[in-house]
Structure 1
């Protein structure tokens, strides 16, 4: 049988491996640290800093007008192939869908968030990415690995939450809630559908939020077992993109997902953060 020291060491080693992979993804060439701006589109055709063309939105489509000297490519084809100028209509773009265009090393993300069409250039040369020092975290602790009961709703509930950007609301499907004990007290958290099939995503805050951890939210992925149980490992609580930059539209946790305990586990406040000008 493993000693407590060996168990703690195994937990930390497992966490170190997992977190290194998470950090690598976060700092990837066109990851969120490469985003240079958040540009909301409307009916008026306007330039977007750092990329070619005039951009405007109508309903669920985006129109890009290029002059004779401007170049963009989408899905492997040039939008202005003969160099005489062009007008291209992209879409329809549904909520949380994305299209990607290329301009040299810059990947141009076109997304729909909270009903708004948004352009976010991703430049791998962006200083936030190239100087990224990594994210500090609490030491892994068995105290924050807790069993939970997954209580599925008869029907998934549509839950509307706010966002870190004023005026935006997000709607997510919540199939279940998690019931567990932490610090000798029972807690319940609403869980959304996860990013991969069979997983749940939990957005939460706690008594460390705004002190040692990012105030708006942290995120945790939970994988339920077939018997309706799950392990909630708060050591794997991570920051959303909004913890690093104002160029994000991250959702806020649903009502009730504020834990009245200090979850001293998972990622802490980032060392550096980019504010919009």
Structure 2
């Protein structure tokens, strides 16, 4: 691949990433983070009183309140039931109400396209893309998945994720080793480095990599390292890199601290 193609592909990736950030109901549209319990609670701007108890998630709607889910209008006391990590999106006009599980808890997050964090978003600054940061690595799979405690911001407890192996590589002659999580067959790397808290988000960044080849080879393109959602808003639950993924070297590639950093 010549330099012009490399730069063009990176620009296309960066523009697509920015478009996802400002999508009408993406995480920049979230206006609050609320944890449900067995006491029905009303949330400003959201129809109904919401709770989570023996019946799962329940919403109690007043006579003049409107809410729909999967094309079905809800009324009165509506039992939504159990939700998983992907959760559900109920609708009320332009508003989307996300309800999802995080560990043993259930959150509710309104998503409003008119939220200022979305409408006033400024393009995320990045390091200049460089071929230097396309790094050849080797994936070393674990014989069995290894449970790894991942601390989650804005969640009381750590969550156990299954690590599938490790990647080893060299940067400027120094060997590095990162624990890898599964990403639908590819690899998901949570990491921090010597730029964290300086030019990049303090809690760390993330990088997706393609499935390794039969011999374990895989290219890590740190030019495509991205901020975690919590770099932009306090209304998300974000994983923090495990201790073994905290590199001492600077990785001067990928996204930097957002211009509209919120936390």
Q: Which TM-score tier does this pair reach, normalised by the shorter chain?
A: over 0.9
Cα deviation per residue 1:31-80 (whole Å; 9 max; x = unaligned)?
Answer: 11111110001111110121011111115821100111111101101102
Equivalent runs, 1:1-277 vs 2, <5 Å: 7-58=2-53, 61-80=56-75, 86-94=76-84, 96-165=85-154, 167-194=156-183, 197-223=184-210, 224-274=212-262
- In structure 2, stretches of 5+ residues that fail to align are none
Q: Kindly indicate whether the alpha-carbon contact (under 8 Å) linking 1:8 and 1:141 is maintained by their aligned counterparts in 2.
A: no
Q: Structure 2 CA distance, aligned partners of 1:76 and 1:172?
A: 34
Q: How many residues align?
A: 262
Q: Kindly indicate whether the alpha-carbon contact (under 8 Å) linking 2:55 and 2:79 is maintained by their aligned counterparts in 1.
A: no
Q: Residue 166 of structure 1: CA displacement?
A: 5.1
Q: Residue 9 of structure 1: CA displacement?
A: 3.7
Q: Structure 2 CA distance, aligned partners of 1:162 and 1:153?
A: 21
SS at match of 1:247: coil
Alpha-carbon distance change, 182 to 59 in structure 1, aligned in 2, over 3 angstroms = farther
Alpha-carbon distance change, 60 to 23 in structure 1, aligned in 2, over 3 angstroms = farther
Cα deviation per residue 1:147-191 (whole Å; 9 max; x = unaligned)?
Answer: 111000000112111112151322211111101111211111001
Q: Structure 2 CA distance, aligned partners of 1:267 and 1:9?
A: 20
- TM-score, normalization by structure 2: 0.96
SS at match of 2:136: strand
Output the aligned Cα RMSD. Answer: 1.4
Q: Structure 1 CA distance, aligned partners of 2:245 and 2:70?
A: 40
Q: Structure 1 CA distance, aligned partners of 2:142 and 2:54?
A: 34
SS at match of 1:232: strand
- In structure 1, stretches of 5+ residues that fail to align are 81-85
SS at match of 1:120: strand
Q: Residue 144 of structure 1: CA displacement?
A: 1.2
